[in-house]
Amino acid sequence: MYFPKHEFVYAHDPEKKCKTGDMVLIEQLPQKLTRLITHKVKHVLYPLGDVTDPITGKKVIAGKFRDHIDAINKVYGEREGAFKYESAPARGWQEDQKDFSHQETYIKYHESGEHDPLAV
């Protein structure tokens, strides 16, 4: 269905099965959970970055099926810098990993020879 304007819908996801950017199927709750939460996540249709053809169920990369690309790679050989989907880490593997964005940075006016991740 096409909606000419954007509308924010807050959905409850107690099992934390969806991530930002996923296409999900939501269902309206019989009564509001909070003032904002009026729906719940039923299930994830398409995870972000993992495009699946809805008719065949095959994975798609830039308009081509992944198994078709694998067949071409077997015939002509794989490019040296090609992305390997089988050996890639699972989606969301960096979630809840700490980086240095939660700490204050400072301008470094000297060269100590050591790597300082908080210096700008």
Q: Report the pLDDT value the prediction gives residue 32, as an integer from 0 to 100.
A: 93
pTM of the model: 0.50
Q: Report the pLDDT value the prediction gives residue 42, as an integer from 0 to 100.
A: 93
pLDDT (tens digit per residue) in 20-44: 778 889 999 999 999 999 999 999 8
DSSP 42-101: EEEEE-TT--B-TTT--BEETTEEHHHHHHHHHHH---TT---TTTSPPTTTTTT---GG
Q: Report the pLDDT value the prediction gives residue 81, as an integer from 0 to 100.
A: 84
pLDDT (tens digit per residue) in 69-115: 889 988 999 888 888 888 888 777 777 776 666 667 667 777 776 77
Q: Report the pLDDT value the prediction gives residue 41, as an integer from 0 to 100.
A: 94
